[in-house]
């Protein structure tokens, strides 16, 4: 989400006459776009601010801005610990940056705006002029679920959906500049409820059908769908729409019903299993990935074993996993947490080992198959072309550079832990 916000800020500031620089020393404006989801990300910000201080002192007219969720949550602390910061803005007010910059330059002093004006920013952002082969499009913002460990509802505000037409217009703009894959973005995309031009309400399943009808868009992904309200109409849409990628990210967080209840996740491990069963019924072989939090306050060995069992049962194809991080102001922050940190990190290591082994097994099953990939550009080392399969794997293969941005069929010839090797068959 921050990646999307940063790219939109960059596009907006470019439209107002700024150009990006490679070297921070040359910058007239430095923006930190921050994440508050775990404590470590927050600590990094204060560390980085310490490094920015001499830059500001060397050239006081250089502007320093801090945006995103840490700014929303701890604006005052940032002000008191780093007085040199000129602008503090939240995840819903970055469209006001040009105005805030103007005010500071006019001598009106430091600016702060961490309010939540619903959906206002989209009307202020410039049309999409470039997105690359695959682009994010925000369909909804904020979250109203209040999982007991999570800071997002406090920093990004309540759930709010963009209108279906605004989203489709953005997608058509991206298509017109060559984007082939759209990643629909939101904290809970499945809770999307946008207004249609005729005033009716568009559900997420309906939105998927509308996006699929946009000619020239070849592949659709969404991040994050959530087991909370992952309803049958969405599962049916995944079965019906072949443009939807063969991969769904469905964060389980835990496999223990006791912990899931304490987390306020409103599903049980068996309900989760049933959801995946129904998904696989409409899309056999669909890749399922997840997020897990290990060491939630009071998680016992037996709770953790329940999580490991869920992972084995589902045979997840990758996951993001984290040790629980206490977020101030969230209900879980008040729970007793007797589990020693070493136990938590051992559990995390075991979980990651298991998920990595499962992902490798899934990769091995792809050996010798032909995969349709979206060619993203040169590989990291510049030796190959790099594409992404429908089930979200990187494939490196030899081919002409002009292929970037097209779809191609590639035979899988090698399996590596984090990528695949392939051989180009056809281009389309
Ligand atoms: N809305 C999505 C996920 C949003 S946050 C969902 O509910 O599925 C992304 C991930 O960060 C979460 O899935 C969770 O695994 C992790 N996360 C959130 N708060 C956390 C915390 N306090 N400690 C550790 N991990 C956390
Ligand atoms: Fe956080 Fe839960 Fe909302 Fe996801 S659904 S953003 S974990 S509160």
- Cα separation, 86 vs 110, whole angstroms: 5
What are the structure tokens assigned to 428, written together? 């389309």
Q: What is the pLDDT of residue 165?
A: 97
188 lines ligand 2 (CB under 6 A): yes
List, edge to edge, every strand of the sheet that includes 134-138: 134-138, 181-185, 219-223
Please give the distance, rounded to the nearest whole angstrom, from the Cα atom of residue 223 to the centre of ligand 1: 13
Q: pLDDT band at 428, cuts 50/70/90?
A: low
Q: Is residue 33 in contact with ligand 2, taking CB distance under 6 Å?
A: no
CA of 150 to the centre of ligand 1 (A): 6
Residues 59-112 pLDDT 10s: 999 999 999 999 999 999 999 999 999 999 999 899 999 999 999 999 999 999
Q: Where is average pLDDT lowest: 125-134, 148-157, 264-273?
A: 125-134
- Any atom of ligand 2 within 6 Å of the Cβ of 250: no
374 alpha carbon – ligand 2 mean position (Å): 30
Mean pLDDT taken over the chain: 95
Q: How many residues does the chain have?
A: 428
220-236: pLDDT as tens digits: 999 999 998 999 999 99
Please state the three-class secondary structure of 34-48 as a single string: ECCCCHHHHHHHHHH
Nearest atom within ligand 2 for CA of residue 187: 6
Strands, E assignment, 303-393: 319-323, 370-378, 385-389
Q: Is 229 left (phi over 0), alpha (psi -120 to 50) or beta?
A: left
Spatial distance between the Cα atoms of 241 and 243, rounded to a whole number of angstroms = 5
Percent over 90 (pLDDT), the chain: 90
Ligand number, closest to the Cα atom of 142: 2
The beta strand positions in 172-318, using DSSP E, are: 181-185, 193-195, 201-203, 219-223, 247-249, 287-294
Residue 330 — very low, low, confident or very high, per pLDDT cuts 50/70/90? very high
**Quick one: which atom of ligand 2 is closest to the CA of 150?**
1
Closest listed ligand to the CA of 146: 2
Classify the phi-psi angles of 405: left when phi > 0, otherwise alpha if psi is within -120 to 50, otherwise beta.
left
**Measured from the CB, is residue 187 less than 6 Å from ligand 2?**
yes
Pocket of ligand 1 (CB under 6 A): 37-38, 149-150, 152, 187-188, 224, 226, 251, 253, 291, 293, 322, 324-325, 327
């Amino acid at each position: 989400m921050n990646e999307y916000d940063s790219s939109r800020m960059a596009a907006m500031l470019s439209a107002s006459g700024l150009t990006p620089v490679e070297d921070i020393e040359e910058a007239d404006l430095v923006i930190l776009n921050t994440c508050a989801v775990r404590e470590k990300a927050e600590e990094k910000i204060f560390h980085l601010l310490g490094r920015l201080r001499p830059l500001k002192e060397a050239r006081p007219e250089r502007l320093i801005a801090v945006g995103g969720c840490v700014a929303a949550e701890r604006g005052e602390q940032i002000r008191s610990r780093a007085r040199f910061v000129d602008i503090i803005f939240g995840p819903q007010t970055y469209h006001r940056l040009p105005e805030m910059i103007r005010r500071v330059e006019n001598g009106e002093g430091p600016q702060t705006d961490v309010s939540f004006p619903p959906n206002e920013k989209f009307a202020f952002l410039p049309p999409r002029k470039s997105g690359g082969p695959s682009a994010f499009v925000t369909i909804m913002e904020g979250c109203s679920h209040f999982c007991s460990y999570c800071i997002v509802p406090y920093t990004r505000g309540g759930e709010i959906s963009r209108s279906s037409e605004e989203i489709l217009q953005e997608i058509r703009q991206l298509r017109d500049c060559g984007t082939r894959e759209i990643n629909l973005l939101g904290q809970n995309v499945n809770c999307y409820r946008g207004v249609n031009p005729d005033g009716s309400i568009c559900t997420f399943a309906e939105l998927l059908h509308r996006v699929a009808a946009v000619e020239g868009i070849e592949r659709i992904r969404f991040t994050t769908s959530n087991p909370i309200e992952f309803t049958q109409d969405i599962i049916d849409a995944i079965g019906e729409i072949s443009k939807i990628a063969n991969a769904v990210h469905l964060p389980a967080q835990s496999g223990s019903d006791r912990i899931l209840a304490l987390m306020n996740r409103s599903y049980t491990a068996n309900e989760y299993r049933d959801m995946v069963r129904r998904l696989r019924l409409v899309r056999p072989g669909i890749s399922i990935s997840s997020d897990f939090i290990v060491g939630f306050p009071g998680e016992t060995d037996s709770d953790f074993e329940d999580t490991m069992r869920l992972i084995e049962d589902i045979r997840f194809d990758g996951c993001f996993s984290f040790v629980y991080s206490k977020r101030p102001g969230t209900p879980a922050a008040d729970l007793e947490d007797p589990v020693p940190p070493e136990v938590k990190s051992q559990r995390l290591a075991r979980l990651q080992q298991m998920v990595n082994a499962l992902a490798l097994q899934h990769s091995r099953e792809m050996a010798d198959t032909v995969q349709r990939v979206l060619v993203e550009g040169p590989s990291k080392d510049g030796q190959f072309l790099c594409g992404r399969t429908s089930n979200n794997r990187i494939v490196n293969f030899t081919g002409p550079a002009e292929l970037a941005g097209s779809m191609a069929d590639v035979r899988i010839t090698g399996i590596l832990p984090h990528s695949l090797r392939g051989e180009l068959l056809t281009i389309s």
